[in-house]
Amino acid sequence: MSPQYIPDETELFERIWNYRRSVQHLEREYLDLRVRLRDAEAALRSDPHSQELESQVGYFKSRLQDLESRYSWIATGSPSEIPFCINATV
């Protein structure tokens, strides 16, 4: 059995940095959608008969569900690079 390769901290930092840059746009979009959904739901409470606001709320919810189903880590609240680091050392 060959010895297991364990990357040094510089290599791990570089891997994490590259990974963070690759998913940052998803996190930004997810946060933006949550803020827009919150605002649309607040506006819908003040005007419950608005079809436009109802359709916005529906769109934001479906888009959030889509992101959460494709990227399950995005809604967990824990940093996504932690499993990445654990898997990188194995």
Task: Give residue-wise pLDDT tens across range 28-79.
Answer: 999 999 999 999 999 999 999 999 999 999 999 999 999 999 988 888 776 6
Confidence of residue 22 (pLDDT cuts 50, 70, 90): confident
- In a domain? residue 58: yes
- In a domain? residue 1: no
- In a domain? residue 37: yes
Quote the pTM value: 0.69
pLDDT of residue 63: 97
Which residue's structure tokens are 């608005």?
50
- In a domain? residue 25: yes
Q: Are 62 and 28 in contact (CB under 8 A)?
A: no
- In a domain? residue 18: yes
Confidence of residue 12 (pLDDT cuts 50, 70, 90): confident
How many domains is the chain built from? 1
Residues 6 or more apart whose Cβ sits within 8 Å of residue 73: 80, 83
pLDDT of residue 23: 85
- In a domain? residue 62: yes
- In a domain? residue 3: no
For residue 36, what are the domain limits?
9-88
